[in-house]
Structure 1
């Protein structure tokens, strides 16, 4: 299953080049590394799919919330989320989603 890709005229939430939600990948038309952004969001799509979408978002918010409670600022908390760690680690590997194992993000916890 491959999600629908939707190009936007503005950055998402004011600062992000891409965003994956359900079966959609949104990306900013002006991003310089379009392929990497889409691959990053595709990794998130597979994370969401394996967790039936809702559980992914609940855990995502939990990881983010815990980091914020520990005093981390927004961006530091964002980068500590295991889902983001996996996506950033492999966004340049365009073959990664073809051989990615289920729950691969767990090794980034």
Structure 2
């Protein structure tokens, strides 16, 4: 279910997924198929990890990446869940062929560099 809330979505972001809801910054973003696909990838990740463990892993990995990169944006972009979503958001059929716990593939591969 998609909701519009410019107050729940953090500054600098267009959407936020908190199972089972997707919050978007503005109504027109509902038409952005790439953004919606990105958020649906997060819904799938959250379901696979039974929601609460997803947030624990996400937060822990963010802190590790923040220590590693010493940069908020790079830390966020290099969380395995975000890497999977960003790298596959334009592939609108991705969720149909995605395998269980696919985010694990993005833990070890080379991360996003600054400027991406």
Scaled to the shorter chain, the TM-score interval is: 0.7 to 0.9
User: 1: distance between equivalents of 2:95 and 2:102?
Assistant: 11
Q: How many residues end up aligned between the 2 structures?
A: 106
How do 1:69-80 and structure 2 match up within 5 A? 69-80=67-78
1:56 to 51, 54, 57: 54
| 3-state SS, counterpart of residue 3 of structure 2 | strand
| 3-state SS, counterpart of residue 23 of structure 2 | strand
1:24 to 21, 24, 40: 21
Q: Which runs of 4+ in 1 moved over 4 A?
A: 30-33
- TM-score when normalising by structure 1: 0.88
Tell me, yes or no, if the aligned pair for 2:3 and 2:21 is still in contact at 8 Å: yes
User: 1: distance between equivalents of 2:49 and 2:12?
Assistant: 26
User: 2: distance between equivalents of 1:91 and 1:106?
Assistant: 17
For structure 2, list consecutive stretches of 5 or more residues without a partner in the other structure.
108-116
User: 2: distance between equivalents of 1:13 and 1:98?
Assistant: 29
How do 1:1-109 and structure 2 match up within 5 A? 4-9=1-6, 12-29=9-26, 30-31=28-29, 34-109=32-107
Q: Tell me the CA shift for residue 70 of structure 1.
A: 2.7
User: 1: distance between equivalents of 2:31 and 2:88?
Assistant: 14
- TM-score when normalising by structure 2: 0.83
User: 1: distance between equivalents of 2:65 and 2:35?
Assistant: 24
